Amino acid sequence: MAPRVDHNFRMLAEAVNAWFAYYEVEPHEQAYEALSTAALSLYHQGHRNLDDLSTMLIGTHVGPWAVRVNAPSSDGVH
């Protein structure tokens, strides 16, 4: 992996970890996935440093309920 790509990957992961630390939430796979996708989207929108990414992620995904997945499938009775 190229050094710049490795740096960007690490920065995205640190921004996600900052979200978990800020909201004092124990990391889990579904939330990490959702936040990683959001962080990558923010990166593509031009937020290219750790402080900016972390601030935007914390501000746009407020609290643990922002990353909750309601149901893994739509097999419910309607």
- Quote the percentage of the chain above a pLDDT of 70: 82
Residue type, 67: V
pTM comes to 0.79
Three-point CA angle 66, 69, 54, nearest 5° = 35
pLDDT greater than 90 at residue 57 = yes
Token reading at 47: 């937020």
Residue 1's contacts (CB-CB under 8 Å, 6 or more residues apart) are 9
Segment 29-48 mean pLDDT: 94
Answer whether 52's CB lies under 8 Å from 46's CB: no
Q: Where are the domains of the chain?
A: 3-67
